[in-house]
Structure 1
Amino acid sequence: MNWSEKITDFSNFLKFEKSFSDNTLDAYIRDIKKLESFATTELENVSPQNITYENLQEFIYQLSKKKISERSQARGISSIKAFFKFLLEEEYRTDNPATLLEGPKLGLYLPDTLSEEDINRIINCIDSNTDIGKRNQCILEVLYGCGLRVSELVDLKISNINFKENFIIVEGKGEKTRLVPLARSTAEFIKDYIQTVRSKSKINKKHEDILFLNSRGTNMSRVIVFIIIKELTQKAGINKSISPHTFRHSFATHLLQNGADLRFIQEMLGHSSITTTQVYTHLKTEELRDVILNFHPRNRNIAS
């Protein structure tokens, strides 16, 4: 049994039987390949069939010394657990050396968000008189207006936009599709971009249905969207670590703050479990706490 063969089998299992998204699949396989490298160089080429619990503990210890974030360590351990569970179930091993592995204790993860004012400041930094500026403004309006993941944004198809009924069909994680309502203002930005910018582009035939295109007429990469947002954030003078996902978090937070039901937000975001969406209730709880501390008459009396 060699690593390359079993990693390929594991990858196919995750893709075809577990319906992992490409990004999640890549992360899991990347984690296992790190373990393979460790087993090859540090453990005298020990095979996945013979690696032990102690070996895995040593690997995790070495990872922790490399200043890898606790969240990345936790995901790495999940990848290892899934890999050896797969080997056990497929009878490549008679035991599971990863059963007793424990990941770092993670605190509650509260995503960074932007205020409506911050979002307006970022968008107002865009020169909308240029074709690239119009495209970039449309990108941010769709990210914030529809709460899309960046992978969903760059793969968004024109054929999946229904301007008559004002909704878009989003192809999300695990090849799951969902309908997301399209605000009238967001729809207008998309129409304007298509008519005044995209219509002038020389489009690669394979990407004729993709909404957002780069200068070569092909779909944009996730990295380029990150760079665009980073540059605009710096230009706006906002000192936060902002990514495309921040607009998605802000979309959900602002909906909740304005009275939207959590189940509705879950559907909009494409979360398979309500527990994933419930993190936003903690954001609202923090906001309510601040309101009480700042404005409740008893607290005002103490402060005075």
Structure 2
Amino acid sequence: MTAPSGMMHWIQSFLEAQAAELDAATNTQLAYARDLKDFADWLDRRKIHFLDADRTTIENYLISCEAEGLAVSTRARRLSAIKQLYRFAFEEGWRSDNPAVQIKGPGKPKRLPKTLSVEDVDRLLHAARTHGRDTARNTCLMELLYATGMRVTELVSLPIAAARGNPQMLLVRGKGGKERMVPLSAAALNAISDWLDVRDTAEDLAKRKGIPASKFLFPSRSKDGHLTRHRFFALIKELAVAAGISPERVTPHTIRHAFATHLLAGGADLRAIQTMLGHADLATTEIYTHVLDDRLKDLVLTHHPLSKKRTT
């Protein structure tokens, strides 16, 4: 097949294939588009086309990214996007090789996830129940997040159908369109029930005004029709302040980490946690064991009699 002439057409064709064949998430698609456009702009300034770039060219681009001070994670993501673009080009017959296939990424440093204590989460949940006007919605959001460990996009885009009928398990659509079932706690079920009462009343009033019913559990007037990631991020910060916790310590992701860490500390099986988090690789989940390793070490150093200095 003849390759497109313009580099933007390469990117567009690649993204369309990702959307059609892999059902790539919108956020993933946007990240690919940004990274590949940056690479295309860098090549264009050097009068080089995707068709002509070789391994050395790509490595020089990555060196320039490092010189700009880009984070290791950003450079690794850009290389991943480039590799996938050229794999697509090879499969389409646009190129006879993949010049990026043997390039090794910078490697992400293994950092322990920041997490919150059980007491911190209790204070956040209390703030959700008592702070602001939308307490039923906020409580439902927070209880679901902590009970399931969902990613923020998975949470805000939950369909209303998933919450109907007092479900004991929630069907979550994750990255790449993969679905998984996560159990619901009694507190989460109560929060869903309370929120549905408020939500359905508001929906009935909207219908009388000719406004069509929303298909989302957390509807809003946003372009997507549901509560946005940015609004939920801001809400988390507001609840942190109301709970007397530094807002720098609290994000949707730290609550996801708290869900996993608290389950593991309570004796849950690592593979069960992997399934509930939607991790494709168990190694991603295993990082939580390091968080517990540090806590156990502190516990021993603080309380074990042999760790205390003997006085004579």
Residue 6 of structure 1 deviates from its aligned partner by 1.2
CA distance in structure 2 between the aligned counterparts of 1:88 and 1:303, rounded to whole angstroms: 72
Checking the alignment, whether the CA contact within 8 Å between 1:161 and 1:167 is kept in structure 2 is no
Q: CA deviation at 1:61?
A: 2.3
Q: 1:142 aligns with which of 144, 159, 164?
A: 144
Change (3 A) 1:303 1:268: farther
In the superposition, relative to structure 1, how do residues 64 and 299 fare at CA in structure 2: closer, same or farther (>3 Å)?
same
Give distance in 1, aligned partners of 2:274 and 2:137.
Answer: 28
**Equivalences, count:** 302
Give the secondary-structure state (helix, strand or coil) at the position aligned to 1:168.
strand
TM-score (normalizing by structure 2): 0.87
Q: Which one of 3, 23, 42 corresponds to residue 27 of structure 2?
A: 23
Aligned residue number for residue 237 of structure 2? 230
Alpha-carbon shift at residue 165 of structure 1 (Å): 4.6
CA contact (8 A) 1:198 1:213 kept: no
- Whole-Å separation in 2 of the counterparts to 1:51 and 1:278: 38
Q: 1:43: which partner in 2?
A: 46
Q: 2:62 aligns with which of 60, 67, 71?
A: 60
CA distance in 2, matches of 1:158, 1:30: 32
Change (3 A) 1:207 1:262: farther
1:132–1:211 Cα change, 3 Å:
same
Q: What 5-or-longer segments of structure 2 have no aligned partner?
A: none
Q: Pick closer, same or farther for the CA change 1:76–1:303 going to 2, 3 Å.
A: farther
Greater shift, 170-179 or 247-256, is seen at 170-179
For residues 311 and 163 of structure 2, the distance between their equivalents in structure 1, rounded to whole angstroms, comes to: 53
Q: CA separation in 2, counterparts of 1:154 and 1:262?
A: 26
Which aligned pairs between 1:272-283 and structure 2 lie closer than 5 A?
A: 272-283=280-291
Is residue 220 from structure 1 mapped to residue 227 from structure 2 by the alignment?
A: yes
Counterpart of 2:267?
A: 259
Residues 196-205 or 247-256, more deviating = 196-205
What is the CA-CA distance between 1:155 and the residue it aligns to? 1.3
Correspondence for 1:133? 135
Select 1:288's aligned residue among 282, 296, 301. 296
Could you report, residue by residue, the CA deviation over 1:110-168 in whole angstroms, capped at 9, with x for unpaired residues? Answer: 22111111122223334637542331222111111111111111111221125445221
Match of 1:184 in 2: 186
Q: 1:11/1:205 Cα in 2 relative to 1: closer, same or farther (>3 Å)?
A: farther
Checking the alignment, whether the CA contact within 8 Å between 2:151 and 2:252 is kept in structure 1 is yes
- Deviation, 1:33, is 1.2
Q: Distance in 1 between matches of 2:157 and 2:213?
A: 10
SS of aligned partner of 2:172: strand
Structure 1 distance, partners of 2:162, 2:296, is 38
Q: 1:35 to 1:206 in 2, by over 3 A?
A: farther
Structure 2 counterpart SS, 1:278: helix
Instruction: Using the TM superposition, give the Cα deviation of residue 91 of structure 1 relative to its aligned residue in structure 2, in angstroms.
Output: 2.1
Aligned residue for 1:286, secondary structure, equals helix
Change (3 A) 1:206 1:55: farther
Structure 1 counterpart of 2:287, one-letter code: V
Supply the distance in 2 between the matched residues of 1:303 and 1:88 (Cα, whole angstroms). Answer: 72
Q: CA shift at 1:178, angstroms?
A: 1.4
Q: RMSD between aligned alpha carbons?
A: 2.5
Give yes or no for contact 1:131–1:197 (8 Å, CA) kept in 2. no
CA gap of 1:242–1:158, structure 2 versus 1, over 3 A, is: same
Corresponding residue for residue 76 of structure 2: 74
Question: SS in structure 2 opposite 1:180?
Answer: strand
Unaligned segments of structure 1, at least 5 residues: none
Indicate yes or no: 2:179 matched with 1:173.
no
**Kept in 1: contact 2:152–2:229 (CA 8 A):** yes
Letter in 1 for 2:46: L
Report which stretch shifted further, 252-261 or 52-61: 52-61
Query: Does 2:216 match 1:210?
Result: yes
Q: Which residue of structure 1 aligns with residue 306 of structure 2?
A: 298
Deviations 1:183-213 (A, max 9, x none): 1111111111121345225379665231112
Quote the Cα distance in structure 1 between the aligned partners of 2:269 and 2:199.
37
Distance of 1:219 and 1:144 partners within structure 2: 20
